Amino acid sequence: MPRIAKKSAPEARGAADAAEAAAHASPGAPRSLGAAIRHARRNRALTLEQVARKTRLSVSYLSQLERDRMPPSLSSLKRIAEALDVPAGSLMFAKTGARSDAPVAVVRQAERKRLVFPGSEIRYEMLTPDLRRRASMLWLHAAAGAESGPAAFAHEGEDAVVVLQGRLAVEVGGLWHELATGDSIYFDSQLPHRWRNPTKRATIAIWVSTPPSF
């Protein structure tokens, strides 16, 4: 996933707070991604036209995303985050509770931060307590035929994926790898990569990135 430029602590906190304002109050509850994008855009005093020019996405498409009329691909979401100069993770996941730097953190299933793309059956759940750690670990639920988007993306670091249920195809550096239940893949994430579920059944996988890519 594309790397977002690192920000100072105050900027990072501001971006997270902006996303939190658009999130549901209950921890772990699905939130409106479109509302978070709209809030971040207005917080940056940018018009849809300005964001469209920066992202090379149409105004109509961006408007539909903000109204939750269609789901964005991961690649388009990353482009929007770059244009808004915020971490993509601050759009995707609400900040719930105070930050904890404890060396041991337990994340209960019912308390996971979740993201459901509007109009899509792709769901991400954060298995790490937040995105401020040295690695991120996400639970990925992908419906039949779901994909990360038509374009591959790259970022600094390394990724690892393990399939818990179903099958997942992962493209790395132009080569597709078919993973079945129990299979895993580890790769340099500076190589362009993307994923898709090529089957007619849902796939569940765990995706690890170091450093966090969202």
pLDDT value, residue 192: 93
Would you tell me the crossing angle of helices 74-84 and 33-43 to the nearest 10 degrees? Answer: 20
Question: 9-92 in CATH: which number?
Answer: 1.10.260.40
Query: Is the Cα dihedral 58, 64, 67, 68 positive or negative?
Result: negative
Spatial separation of the C-alpha atoms in residues 111 and 119, rounded to whole Å: 23
Spatial separation of the C-alpha atoms in residues 212 and 214, rounded to whole Å: 6
Task: Show me where the domains of the chain are located.
Answer: 9-92, 121-210
Does the domain formed by 121-210 have CATH 2.60.120.10?
yes
Preceding omega of 211 cis (within 30 degrees of 0): yes
pLDDT value, residue 100: 58
Asked whether 99 and 130 are in contact (CB, 8 A), the reply is: yes
DSSP E strand stretches across the chain? 114-116, 123-126, 136-142, 158-165, 168-172, 175-179, 184-188, 193-196, 203-210
pLDDT value, residue 163: 98
pLDDT value, residue 52: 94
Spatial separation of the C-alpha atoms in residues 90 and 18, rounded to whole Å: 8
Spatial separation of the C-alpha atoms in residues 65 and 37, rounded to whole Å: 8
User: From the first residue on, what is the mean pLDDT of each consecutive set of 10 residues in the chain (214 residues)?
Assistant: 37 38 36 82 94 93 89 80 80 57 86 73 86 88 90 89 98 97 97 95 96 77
Spatial separation of the C-alpha atoms in residues 207 and 126, rounded to whole Å: 10
